[in-house]
Amino acid sequence: MAARTLRIGLIPGDGIGREVIPAGRRILEALPSSLNLKFSFTHLDAGFETFQRQGVALPDKTVEVLKSDCDGALFGAVSSPTVKTEGYSSPIVALRKRLSLYANVRPVKSIASSRSPVDLVIVRENTEDLYVKEEKTYDSKDGKIAEAIKRISEKASFNIATMAGDIALRRQRVRDAGTESIHTAPIVTVTHKSNVLSQTDGLFRETARKALAQEKYQMVKVEEQIVDSMVYKLFRQPSDYDVIVAPNLYGDILSDAAAALVGSLGLVPSANVGHGFVIGEPCHGSAPDIEGKGIANPIATIRSTALMLEFQGEERAAAKIYAAVDANLEEGKLLTPDMGGKATTEEVIEDVCKRL
């Protein structure tokens, strides 16, 4: 059978994105030939430094190439300005909208020998909520007032809850196949604040419930959690959770906070997923404090690469990468400084490649 060739766009972005995205390419090239996979790569521009050079953070050419010439992509990191910069907006937010990548999927998993095991996935709606960025400021007798639109739609809420249900079922199939896990049944926890925001979060809650009531999810247990108590319980009882689904803002906060459960943002992957396209994206930022020092943790990017493959139907290849990363972390001899070690980015990449 002829090998499948996947065309991957590489978008390093800013800061340490330029140091870790090459790790994704090297991992793909190191996969065993028995998997019958080949890859071609295209380097593309986006980010604040692209904005400074070209006057636009996300060039139209980047989007056009992704749509016409790529099956998936890896995105590094963005250095967003801390003050208002005329004409600048986040390229990753724009990519999610222009490619209709409606789901941000963030697995958070500890190593098997952890005293407090964590194995959960946060599924974040990716296109709306406060991230529609419709804001205005005006004067009043009490001074300036700033307002922002929080938009929740039935369609987006249904789509993201369906994605969460599908992930819960897939995780259960893996568990049933014999993989060790702290979970015994698929659970989706719908996170919201409908006790205060009865219209917006109320619609998200009702629609998610409706989506997960479909017959194909009959074995999935559906729970609810108010977002503020969700944060508390997530830190106190992480083993209670399997798949968490949330609107954009809550999902963003929860997924970054959950990284603390496993020791570092440098370990946490994500995937921006739509119908027929996926972008793997490590959850860390551009980390200007360590840029150029060769100590950035590549694990989040490597896991994001595996996650990209998983959503492209290449679960065997993804499993190989996950196993190689887990073996590196379990052994604990080559860890970057964020994990308490002294290894360089290059040493970690080489070690994971060897384990493949």
pLDDT digits (tens, 9 = 90+) for 172-207: 887 776 555 566 789 999 999 999 999 999 999 999
**129 domain residue, yes or no:** no
Instruction: Find the mean pLDDT for residues 66-74.
Output: 97
**Please, which residues bridge with residue 278 across strands?**
273
What's the predicted TM-score (pTM) here? 0.87
Provide the domain count of the chain.
Answer: 1
> What's 106's domain CATH number?
3.40.718.10
Instruction: Find the mean pLDDT for residues 144-150.
Output: 96
Give pLDDT, residue 180.
55
Give pLDDT, residue 183.
62
**143 domain residue, yes or no:** no
Percent of the chain with pLDDT over 90: 75
For residues 299 and 173, the model is more confident at: 299
**13 domain residue, yes or no:** yes
Give pLDDT, residue 273.
95
pLDDT digits (tens, 9 = 90+) for 208-265: 999 999 999 999 999 999 999 999 999 999 989 999 999 999 999 998 888 888 878 8
3-state secondary structure string, 125-190? ECCCEHHHCCEEEEEECCEEEEEECCECCHHHHHHHHHHHHHHHHHHHHHHHCCCCCCCCCCEEEE
Instruction: Find the mean pLDDT for residues 341-350.
Output: 96
**169 domain residue, yes or no:** no
Range of the domain at 26: 4-114+262-355
Q: Are 336 and 295 in contact (CB under 8 A)?
A: yes
**284 domain residue, yes or no:** yes
**152 domain residue, yes or no:** no
**323 domain residue, yes or no:** yes
Determine the straight-line distance between the first and last CA of the chain, rounded to whole angstroms: 22
pLDDT band per the 50, 70, 90 thresholds, residue 154: very high
Give pLDDT, residue 283.
86
Per-residue b/e over 60-78, b at no fewer than 16 CB within 10 Å?
Answer: eebbebbeeebbbbbbbbb
Instruction: Find the mean pLDDT for residues 317-326.
Output: 91
pLDDT band per the 50, 70, 90 thresholds, residue 145: very high
For residues 75 and 113, the model is more confident at: 75
User: What mean pLDDT value characterizes the chain?
Assistant: 92
**48 domain residue, yes or no:** yes
